Amino acid sequence: MDNLEIQEHLLDLLESGYEVLTESERFAHQLQRRFRSRRLRAACPGWTSPAAGPLNHWLERFWKGLWPEDWPAPPFLRWRLLSQTVVEVPPPAPLSPGPLLVRDLDESFELCLRYGIDPGSADAPTPLVDWRSRVWLSCRRELEKQGLFYPALLPRKILSVLERDPKRAPLGIAMVGFEFAGQWEKALIGALSSLPGNRHLPLPSPETENRALVYSDPQQEVMGLLEHLARAAEEVPLHSLAVVVLDAPGYSPLLAGGLQDLFGLPLEGDQAAYNLFPEPRLTDQSLYHAALLPLTFAHEGESRQRFTGFLRSPYYAFTARHTRALSQWDRYWREKGIEGGLEDLTQPVPPFLEDVLPGNGRELRARFRPLMGRHQRPGSHWVRDLKAFWEGFGFPLLAHEIDQIAWDCLQRILDQFEAAFGETPMTGREFTEWLQGAGEKIHVQRRGLEDAGIQVLGGLEIRGLSFQRVYVPALMGKVLPQPVRSFPFLTPHERRRVQGGTAESQFQFAGHLFAQFHAAAPRVMLSRPLLGLGGDPEPPSPFWPDDREEKQPTRVPWRHFLPGIQRARWVRAGIAGMKAHQGALTECPAHASVSEEGGKGADEDEFQGDPIRIRRSPQDLSYVGPLSLPEELTASAVEVLVSCPARFFFEAILKIAPLPETGRGVDPRQRGGIIHRILAVFGEMLMCRRRETGGDPERPENILARVVDRELKSLLSIPSWQIEKKRLLGKDDRAPGLLTEWINREMVYLEQGWRWQAFEVPFGGLRLRDCPVSICGRVDRVDIHPDQGIVCWDYKTGRIPTRKEVWEEVVSPQVPIYLMALRQGLIPGVPPDPPSLNGGYIDLRSVRHLDRKLIAQGDRPLDPLLLDHEQKISRLVRDVLEGHIRGRWTEGSCEVSCPYECLCGLRLFQEDSPSPSPSRAPHATPDHQVP
């Protein structure tokens, strides 16, 4: 027997007058729909509502019908009583009273009561369990005084009533499932099923054939799942397809996005192509986060990040109108080193916000201040001030149905909170934690018909349901079975009685769910990824059928025939663009070997679903047509060119630059630039003083200190730059800084007869043979010695290139370019074609790395080495002019992360590109950046 057969039996019972109790509301709804469909087929009125519903609803309805004197206590009222009790009965150290402790304690009471455990006693109490017992006894007395009890005791109370008065026992009840119900639920179900006329039906566990597909990663797995759904949608009704999502945090976004790409936006009613399972908890909704942003900012450190989140929130009408201007404020804070504090963040207001925030931000501060502070106030005051803040900034701007549902839930929470905690003193942090705790218990569900479209379910919801095909992705060991739950307020013996408290119980429940996957449909498809979202290996679930495992090849939407995925607009647009690109390749005589196979044209309307077929050749894929270059390239641009032509194309020709990242600490690029300026200014001042006085009247350390103070003046308000100043200058002679140690070594260097000739000296017009453009640059320093000749130095605050990288691999050509400029007499003050020419780097990463490293010395012939550089640079420039801009990944691998990866196609094509050998091809690293 499977779920379809048991549902047919339940429908027969419903027609004969039975009332059916189910474990889930979804199961009851499917029974109701099947009942109405059967009535319509039999030409009976279809509006008749069958007596089918979840057990919890029946318990509440039955209890109300008894006209009882006591009622289940609502959450906020229980939390208020518990918070008062916890103050009277303090917890053992290191626990402290607060909303988080109260919520955990409340959940443990519910758990104990559901599984027949007395929270007021324990077999082997620990200090924590002993405290739990004392709190429970006190709280229970207070609840009894008010005629209240915990909701988990409702089945037990109904059972007591039926034992005292058997005449009240309902007849004609059919219960299905409940294999893993709580102790009192099982006891009540057993008592009801023992009555004549009542029935208890277990859920079936059939043996069904299934497919087991293995994909490389979750993205490929979801892509394959969507393909199967698209094909199945042509064979069976959409509502007979179900997807069971076991790993909701990881797979829900991927699946929701993919369904939207293939089937459009989720619609309401019977026009929906798919019906997503209940949305995440209320606390996971964007509107809920936005609503609590003023509270979290005020009571979690007044951080810049929280304040920026408020300014960029689309839910506040005021900020939504000025998002563009307000977003620039965050960059202003980062540049000024402001990390938090309402006063520091809001004054002074930068000039570009004066029209947006008149009065220098006073109104903004005034609206935040009622929510600030650590003092205690009644809960109703916090609710009042929060609502006033929302009203002042025009909250909320609702975007869609989920926002409206979340807003309705939030308003109900505030009303219930005010009713329970209205007169209770609390801090703003406690107020926030109470709201968070209430939001975590509410799940947001879209409105709509559950029988419309593909059904996307959670693991628990599949129990009892029936479909034609069921798909179960992410069948990994971490999700089935679920990890053992942590119950800190339970003893080891109590955990063994609670579902989820031991590995054995979790495994048994997982086996029950796995059987339900097969009971739900005659055709079941299981799948799992080899690697998780983070790239780590994902072991399969113990229930994974190894004997039927099928490994699936990696698929790229526009390279392989994927009729489902190729319906997505972004894939169609990509294929259309590649077809147009193929036409350009075919028209180019130099690339006439490109295959002409493919679709019928680049027009999206004519697309028939066939993937484009281009020969997998990096040379072909990299041709974009003739380009134009500036008349002169900088030495830094040339270094990028020899490292990666594709990056050179994006950076130097298209002028696409990533937004510089700003954050805590010292930016390596900014640090490198400042050190270069300090050394240049210091060198000029020192040489000028020596020429004026003919000696050394002032200690170099004093000159250096003044230069450092001047260059860092605008930055010393930032703590990280205060620390950086100490790193540069040091504390004393026992702990010298980077630049003071550099001075000590340079003084010895000058005493050997060397003279600093030039600092940060620019040059231009460097011509290379067969190169259509000239090169310009700036040499950091040039030194002259009467006997040892000339040496040009390149300061490096980042990684120093090796001699092999410079001369053999030709990936760091800056120093060779400087030497060519010296040879051609382009450096002012330096005679052309000097007899002895040297070049190298000065390592300025730290005191530990401080050193000079010569890579070109006069005793070695430079002409052959420089000629190699000229030829390679000239060839690369000519290639770019002809339109060849292939990325470095086409020749090997990219070992350094690049901001242009998404443009050059590294992530997409590297696996399909020929890689004869993984050659080392690092990207160019700017002088002022530590890789």
Q: Are 11 and 31 in contact (CB under 8 A)?
A: yes
Tokens linked to 816: 């060779």
Q: How many CB atoms lie within 10 A of CB 629?
A: 16
Label residue 64 by pLDDT band (50, 70, 90): very high
Q: Is the peptide bond before 545 cis (omega within 30 degrees of 0)?
A: no
**3-class secondary structure, 844:** coil
What average pLDDT does range 75-79 have in this prediction?
Answer: 92
Separation between Cα atoms, residue 33 and residue 347, nearest integer Å: 61
| Residue in this structure with the two tokens 């640079």, named with its chain if needed | 873
d(CA 180, CA 505): 10
Between 443 and 168, the higher pLDDT residue: 168
Measured distance CA(312)–CA(546) in Å, rounded: 49
pLDDT at 584: 45
| 349-376 burial: b if 16+ Cβ within 10 Å, else e | beeebeebbeeebeebbebbebbeeeee
Averaged pLDDT score across all residues of the chain: 83
Quick check: 913 pLDDT over 90?
Answer: no
Phi then psi for 443, rounded to 5 degrees? -105, 135
> What would the mean pLDDT of 41-61 be, rounded to a whole number?
85
- In angstroms, the CA 122 to CA 124 distance is 6
- Whether the bond into 94 is cis, omega within 30 of 0: yes
pLDDT digits (tens, 9 = 90+) for 264-283: 776 655 566 777 665 568 88
Q: What is the mean pLDDT of residues 883-902?
A: 73
Q: What is the pLDDT of residue 271?
A: 60
CB 556 within 8 A of CB 244: no
Band of residue 108 on the pLDDT scale cut at 50, 70, 90: very high
Mean pLDDT of 19-35: 90
pLDDT (tens digit, 9 = 90+) per residue, 711-753?
A: 888 888 778 888 889 999 887 667 788 999 998 898 888 888 8
Reported confidence tier of residue 450, pLDDT bands at 50, 70, 90: low
Indicate the pTM of the whole model: 0.71
Between vectors from CA 402 to CA 461 and to CA 75, what angle results, nearest 5°?
A: 65
Does residue 11 contact residue 34 with C-beta atoms inside 8 Å?
yes
* Mean pLDDT score, 637-642: 89
- What would the mean pLDDT of 135-152 be, rounded to a whole number? 92
State the pLDDT confidence band at 262, using cuts at 50, 70 and 90.
Answer: confident
Q: Give the pLDDT confidence score for residue 897 in this predicted structure.
A: 72
Please list, in sequence order, all residues whose beta carbon lies within 8 angstroms of the beta carbon of residue 293, skipping any fewer than 6 positions away. 306, 309, 310, 313
Q: Where does the pLDDT of residue 200 fall: very low under 50, low under 70, confident under 90, or very high at 90 and above? A: very high
Is 80 exceeded by the pLDDT of residue 33?
A: yes
Q: What is the mean pLDDT of residues 468-484?
A: 92
**What average pLDDT does the segment 558-572 reach?**
83
Residues 6+ apart with CB under 8 A from 374: 299, 427, 428, 429
Average pLDDT over residues 66-95: 90
Can you give the pLDDT at residue 609?
Answer: 38
Report d(CA 272, CA 446) in Å as an integer: 12
Q: Return the pLDDT at 97.
A: 86
Flag whether pLDDT at 595 surpasses 70.
Answer: no
| For the chain, percent of residues with pLDDT exceeding 70 | 86
Q: pLDDT tens for residues 787-822?
A: 888 899 999 998 899 888 888 888 889 999 999 998
pLDDT beyond 60 at 138: yes
Please report the pLDDT score of residue 843 as a whole number.
Answer: 93
Chain segment 485-534, per-residue pLDDT in tens: 888 888 888 889 998 889 999 999 999 999 999 999 999 999 999 998 87
Confidence of residue 46 (pLDDT cuts 50, 70, 90): low
Q: Using an 8 Å Cβ cutoff, are 763 and 826 in contact?
A: yes
Residues 828-837: what's their mean pLDDT?
76
Lowest mean pLDDT among 178-192, 322-336, 408-422, 893-907: 893-907
Burial (Cβ within 10 Å: 0-12, 13-18, ≥19) of residue 775: buried
Separation of alpha carbons 8 and 70, rounded Å = 39
CA distance 453 to 449: 9
Q: Label residue 44 by pLDDT band (50, 70, 90).
A: confident
Q: What is the pLDDT of residues 368-390, one digit of tens each?
A: 999 988 889 999 999 999 999 99
pLDDT tens digits for 765-794? 999 988 888 999 999 999 988 888 889 999
Over residues 166-180, mean pLDDT: 90
Place of tokens 């318990």: 59
What is the reported pLDDT for 465?
Answer: 92
- Average pLDDT (891-907) is 68
Mean pLDDT of 365-370: 89
* Range name among 1-10, 129-138, 407-416, 900-909 with the lowest pLDDT average: 900-909
